Structure 1
Amino acid sequence: MALFAATRLLALRRSPILLKLPPYLSALFIVVGVAWLLLLPLNEYSRNTYISENAILPGQVHTYFGGSEHNIFRAYRQEVWHLSERSDHDRISGLEHELRAIGLKAATQDYSWNVAGEEIKGTNVYGVLQGPRADATEAMVLIAAWRNFEGNINYSGVALALALTRYFKRWSIWSKDIILLITDDSTYGPEAWVSAYHSTSSIATAARNISVLPVKAGALQGVVALDYPAGPWGQRFEKLDVLYDGINGALPNLDLLNTAISVASSQMGIGCTLHNMVSHSDSYSDRLLTLTKGLLTQGAGHATGPHSAFMPYHVDAITLRTVGEGWHDEMSLGRTTESLVRSLNNLLEHLHQSFFFYILLNTNRFVSIGNYLPAAMIVAGSLTISALALWVQSGKAPTNGEQSGKKGEKLEEKKMELIREGDDVALVPKSDLVAAERKIFLPAAILLAVHLAGSIPLYLLNNISRPALPLTLHAITLATLALPPTLSYHLSKLPHQQLQILQSFSLLLLGAVLSMLATINFSLAFIVGLLCAPLAFIRPLPLLFSPNPSSTSPAPSTVSDAQDFITKLAIVLPCTVLYALISPPVVLYAIATGLQGVFGIEGLGVEGLLVEMARGWVAQGVWTGLVVWGVWWPAWVVGGGVLGSGVLGRGGGG
């Protein structure tokens, strides 16, 4: 029985049906991956949020921030407005003076980065309130950036943070230190401060032009940022938009998010939103829209607020941003923040019981990693299936008829061979027992060279000055579109087997990287996987001019040849144009012009997109650019080289 099973497997090895199946399987996997994602907004694949950490006790305390504190807040708001009219030096001195007047250990921190020929610099002001019951081993952070993410002065946010800290100073319940941090902006100031806070070497911070922190507290347990840019005369708001996306798609523990939403909505009666969706009907379309916005924001990997910089350091953080015009005032936000800080003060250990990987559909419904991760894995699996199919085909030994091309020798294919196992005898085709020797050195060297070439656009776009960035992208786009035809000319001289091995290695590496990336940043892996999905179906296009031994002219010589040429041209041109449209530079142009606001900046444009990508790489450590130029771009170039190898040469038939 074992012998007959072996003969059946040998027969399947050359089954034409089995060899034609992988492209259909890859297409099926892509459809299933997309359909899987579309099912997530349904109730069957998501669940309601809940608090896992019982010690938090959200909304279980009575808040006292109000009454006379309102007058103190308005006084601080006027002081913030006066400071905004002064120079940066006077503003920093004035804020530091206010922190010392409250009774905090105040200090400042200077920082600067040189990105795209521009200097990003500023000064952070912070103070430490030592908890009466604390032993300086744990701390909470209250942030109010001087300018919010849109570049507006955070008048009421800074004033409210000062008023709350002054209010907290009078309480003796704190078991953790409280750090008030007022950064210059909402992106680079928090990044400079948190990196210096967790740095153990002054040399490391000096290398990044970041000053060391003269005053520190314990391990950071939680961060709450306030974004309330109401002017000096104040403005009531309708809802709180909870920002939670971190750098490189990192997310805070879901318990922190649930605590903030529970306190705001249940205790204070303030409605909460996600991704600035003020009106959310909890319908399938609204859930899907929230999911899509979450995927785009997480896939971009850039900071979305002051909280984002803390995620890479495993510090849970969120930003509370006021949206709309309603009847809630600064006292409502103050009591919400007080209750949230007191909940964090209850923690006996770092938040760990709830989810760190999730997708939110609205403020009270989420999808866990076990439900959404298969979508990206299945899309990446479509690439792996094509890679394995190409590897199997590359090991198929050519028959004598294929090697000689002579009709008289095609009968050699029918030679049979006896195989024995004990008393069992089976007759199988001799060609099924022969495997081709794979020569993998040259395909591996070509793939390595293309991947190393991806470092060139990555370096240029992160080191060229800002005015030259659009021109640099134009040059990279032209070079990118010209590279596949150039590579195709050289690949056309290789045997067909080595073309298959090259494409197999490229798809196998791409599928493996996307599968690994999906466990860290699901959104980026899924988006890049969909953009790379056509690469699984790339095969050499037909040769435009069929070789004619009797003719020395490359042009069509007969009417049938001309018709054949037109037919092939009708296939080659659309495929080439469509393939160019899915190239990384062209997609970047589409994002810059058609998806403005993906990174939270209105009117991004090509130059703005490139500047934000450079700032993210240099200052924030965002690896989206590395995935684009180090993973997606090489795979696209190799696929383009294989695609055109049949048009410009022998089609890999050597």
Structure 2
Amino acid sequence: MDESEVEAPKAKPRPIVRLGIFLISHSLLFSVFCCTAGLLTLLLLPLLAKNTYISENALMPGSANPMLSSQEVSEANRLVKSLTSLDLQPKGSGIESQRLIAEFMSNLGAEVNYQKFYPRSNQFHPLHFFSYPDSGTTWVNVSCSSHGVNTIGIIRAPRGDGKEAIVLVTPYNPLKIGPGEALSLGITYSVFSLLTQVTWLAKDIIWLVVDSRYGEYAAVDAWLRDYHMPVFSGLGSVNAETCYGSNVQNEPKENLLTERKIHDGFRRAGTMAAALVIKVADRSEHFEDSLSIYAEASNGQMPNLDLINIVNYLAVHRQGLRVKVEKIWSLLNCKWLLILGEILESLGHVARSLNPQWKFGIPAADYVEGIATLASSLYYQALGVPTGPHGAFRDYQVDAITLEISSRVALNNKAKRNDFLLRGGWLIEGVVRTVNNLLEKFHQSFFLYLLTSPSKFVSVGVYMIAFALLVAPLPMVAASLYAEAHNVDPSSGKEKSTPSVRTTDELGITLTSCKWLNAAKIVFVVHLWGAVVSLLPYFICQIPSCTPTTRFGIWVLLSIFSLLILYLILGSPFSHVNASQPRKRDWVLLKSVTISVAFIGLCLMSVINFATAEIGALLMVPMCLMAQPLKLDVKSRSLRSFSRLVCNLALGFIAFPPVTFFVLKGVFEGFGGIAVGDFWNWLESIWEWSSATYLYLGMVYLPCWVLCIQVLCHRC
């Protein structure tokens, strides 16, 4: 036999290729396994949480005894009494309180200056997403009575070189100072007074007293903008005479002497190492003093975990405060979560009986509380809206948190006020002293994490497993559908033996290729429509005297109308290349392309805001995988088809963004007070803050939902 007639043995594909072919061939089983495993992994995150620890050894929290004494507390108490009495005066004004605070700062030897800023209304603008924090700022020429004034005091560190600083922020309303705001100013003043006397200070201290009449975040953001981007047009700084206008003529001589100590120019210190926003809650706790920590910033940004660990350690082990973080309270009463927690607790007992070193399982009550805290952390990160004025610092890559201290006694109890001021001052002093020990910026610990309690966290390396399992079936199912539409056996890569029509047009493009291009065109049109829908609120907001319900209705009508217009211009979704050819495989290609685009969108969103991608995958992945024409399930008349029909209808209804919002709002807050305009108000809260979640909803999630509905309604 001739050697040329002998067929050469075919080379076997690589193992990774064979694995991919196997998964594509068994995409249904792979999808069920991955989605189930992803959901279980998400529910098991409280069990996988680690105890928090200090990663940076140089911090050494609690290594020194507090130096704050009753002398500083008495001075702080005097400031509190002065502010309280000033607020009770019938003609008391914000100017007097700002002068009083500046006078107390000046008497300590600090560098004091005012910063005038004009209120900025947060309005939706489509070009401000992912832009620099200063973008979109429009200053309006308004009268002196309509601007805010921040008061800033700076202590120069005796052992520092002026290159680093720690910021203490206390928001208050100068027109009406509440007892909580007065006490927060008193606590910060006591620490500020101590820091003017110590010799160990290596970082400058900036005390920013924020005028919160126009919003705490806006005032802090205005100061940070001028701090990092100097303005030389006269709007970046203000002297006392300009601020207070004609009132200076009638002031006593001692007030005029105080004003001369105020610097006219904008004063700066070094690079900010950390920032603490200090607040005292007006409410009182029933059992013990507590400390609430707020850390979420814009687009899911979080401060370095070491900063939270420092505060938690000093508050619990030094001051005996109960540290709290936000949680979804309605989940604490979920019976199915309690049952799941009891099952996991029983499994933990069994595991420890087999091997005492197996530390699996936690008490059921701790599991439920961990789930409630985890859900809150995931929600606020996904929302992309800062939970306090500390979020303005994260826009400039400065680690910052908000500390809200609550007392177990009434704030007007003068007998307990000194003790409260002393404990709060010791806490702030300990945090400042710990950060003062830091030789570089926070970098050792985690920046991507979810909290399950103040002392437990889940790192990104753990909670990304749930997301990876949820999205893993998407490319496999897309490839399987593509192979099915082209009559290709995934296991062999060859065409199936069933006959198929392979007509070719003049350009040599096959019919199946044209169908793929038609599906891609439909997906492109729908996502282009999603971009149009995302821009519509900018124009709707220009309509005066409209209620949220009216604006929401206009938005829905314009969205439907724009979708019809795009389909008429760029082609109907039901158009195809050759009307005489069977259409039963058109929806398969459309579903394949839709799943591919959904996978790309989720992966891109995970880079911007992982929490948004995690929650989006919980809704989008089942909806995309189960979508199938309802007509096929009706014709089949089997139990499996009927189950799939019910699931598709339920997912299509629940996954619609407004319906999802109302269902979750009703589950967590009750269905009694739900209004149609609530969804519009919620959208406003995320687009005004330029949250990337808004773009995800408009340009990824909503188009994929429309495409899945189109698959369900396909006339196969």
TM class by shorter-chain length? 0.7 to 0.9
Normalised by the length of structure 1, the TM-score is 0.77
Report 1:160-559 matches (<5 A).
160-183=187-210, 184=212, 185-199=215-229, 214-230=266-282, 238-275=289-326, 283-323=366-406, 325=408, 329-396=420-487, 403=500, 436-437=512-513, 440-462=516-538, 464=541, 467-477=546-556, 490-494=572-576, 499-533=587-621, 534-542=623-631
Q: Aligned pair in 2 of structure 1 residues 114, 483: CA closer, same or farther (>3 Å)?
A: same
Distance 1:228 1:7 in 2: 66
Identity %: 24
1:221-265 alpha-carbon deviations (Å, 9 max, x no partner): 01111110349x999962111222222111111111111111111
1:59-109: CA deviation from partner (whole Å, max 9, x where unpaired):
011112231222222222223334556344554454444444443332213
Q: Could you say which residue in structure 1 is the equivalent of 2:129?
A: none
Structure 1 contact 373–518 (Cα < 8 Å) conserved: no
The reply to whether residue 68 of structure 1 matches residue 71 of structure 2 is yes
Distance across 2 between alignment mates of 1:504 and 1:62: 65
Give the match for residue 582 of structure 1: 655
Kindly indicate whether residue 110 of structure 2 is the aligned counterpart of residue 22 of structure 1: no
Q: Which of 114, 130, 136 is matched with 1:107 structurally?
A: 114
Structure 1 counterpart of 2:220, which letter? P
The aligned counterpart of 1:142 is 168
Q: Which residue of 2 aligns with 1:560?
A: none
1:461–1:610 CA contact under 8 A, matched in 2: no
Distance of aligned partners of 1:481 and 1:385 in 2 relative to their CA distance in 1, 3 Å threshold = farther
Residue 186 of structure 1 deviates from its aligned partner by: 3.2
Unaligned runs of 5+ in 1: 406-433, 547-562, 598-602
Residue of structure 1 in register with 2:154 after alignment: 128
Q: Which deviates more, 336-345 or 179-188?
A: 179-188
- Does the C-alpha gap of structure 1 residues 612 and 315 become closer, same or farther in structure 2, counting only changes over 3 Å? farther
Q: Conserved in 2, the CA contact under 8 Å of 1:461 and 1:473?
A: no
Residue type of the alignment partner of 1:535: C
Letter of the structure 2 residue corresponding to residue 248 of structure 1: N
Structure 1 pair 576–105 and aligned structure 2 pair: CA distance change class (3 A): same
Deviation string 1:330-388 (CA, Å, 9 cap, x unpaired) is 21111000011011111110011111112222222222221111111221223333323
How much does 1:509 deviate? 2.5
In 1: Cα distance, 2:674 partner to 2:80 partner? 32
CA distance in 2 between counterparts of 1:216 and 1:576 reads 60
Q: 1:217 to 1:237 in 2, by over 3 A?
A: farther
What SS does structure 2 have at the residue aligned with 1:114?
Answer: coil
Aligned partners of 2:523 and 2:230: how far apart in 1? 40
8 Å Cα contact 1:247-1:301 kept in structure 2? yes
Q: How far did 1:628 drift?
A: 1.1
Contact preservation (8 Å) 1:142, 1:178 = yes
Q: Alpha carbons of 1:617 and 1:402: their partners in 2 closer, same or farther (altered >3 Å)?
A: same
Q: Distance in 2 between matches of 1:456 and 1:122?
A: 37
Gaps of 5+ in 2: 1-6, 125-137, 141-145, 237-242, 244-263, 333-361, 410-415, 489-494, 503-509, 577-582
Indicate if the aligned counterparts of 1:596 and 1:604 stay in contact, CA closer than 8 A. Answer: no
CA deviation string 1:318-340 (max 9, x = no partner): 12112462687221111000011
- CA distance 1:239–1:450, change in 2 (3 Å): same
Matched letter for residue 151 of structure 2 = V
Question: Which residue identity is paired with 2:625?
Answer: A
Question: What amino acid maps onto 2:160 in structure 1?
Answer: A
Change (3 A) 1:513 1:82: farther
The 3 A distance-change label for structure 1 pair 514 and 65 is same
The offset of 1:159, in angstroms, is 2.6
Q: Distance in 2 between matches of 1:611 and 1:581?
A: 20
Please report how far the alpha carbon of residue 389 of structure 1 lies from its aligned counterpart in structure 2 after TM superposition: 2.3
Which residue does the alignment assign to 2:707?
638
Partner amino acid for 2:548? L
Tell me if the contact between 1:484 and 1:640 (Cα under 8 Å) persists in the aligned partners.
no
Residues 591 and 155 from structure 1, CA distance in 2 versus in 1: closer, same or farther, beyond 3 angstroms?
Answer: farther
- CA distance in 1 between counterparts of 2:153 and 2:287 reads 28
Which deviations, in whole Å up to 9, do the C-alpha atoms of 1:496-537 show, x marking residues without a partner?
A: 555444433332222223234335533211111112121222
Deviation at 1:436, TM superposition (A): 4.8
Do the aligned partners of residues 343 and 24 (structure 1) sit closer, same or farther apart at CA in structure 2, a change above 3 Å counting?
same
Q: Output the amino acid matched with 2:551.
A: T
Q: What is the CA RMSD across the aligned residues, in angstroms?
A: 4.4
The equivalent residue for 2:133 is none
The equivalent of 1:80 in structure 2 is 83
Structure 1 pair 321–116 and aligned structure 2 pair: CA distance change class (3 A): same
Write the letter of the residue equivalent to 1:321: E
Q: CA–CA distance in 2 between the matches of 1:346 and 1:362?
A: 26
Question: 1:592–1:605: 8 Å Cα contact kept in structure 2?
Answer: no
1:63–1:337 Cα change, 3 Å: same
User: Does structure 1 conserve the Cα–Cα contact (< 8 Å) formed by 2:171 and 2:216?
Assistant: yes
Structure-2 change in CA distance of 1:193 and 1:263 (3 Å):
same
CA distance in 2, matches of 1:224, 1:104: 20
In structure 1, distance between residues paired with 2:474 and 2:265 = 48
Residues 155 and 50 of structure 1, relative CA distance in 2, 3 Å threshold: same
Cα–Cα, structure 1 residues 358 and 8, in superposed 2: closer, same or farther, change >3 Å?
A: closer
Q: Secondary structure at the match of 1:367?
A: strand
- 1:566-588 Cα shifts (integer Å, max 9, x gaps): x9999879844641331112223
**What is aligned with 2:249?**
none
1:288-346: CA deviation from partner (whole Å, max 9, x where unpaired): 22212211122112111222222232211112112462687221111000011011111
For 1:147 and 1:611, the matched residues in 2 are separated by 26
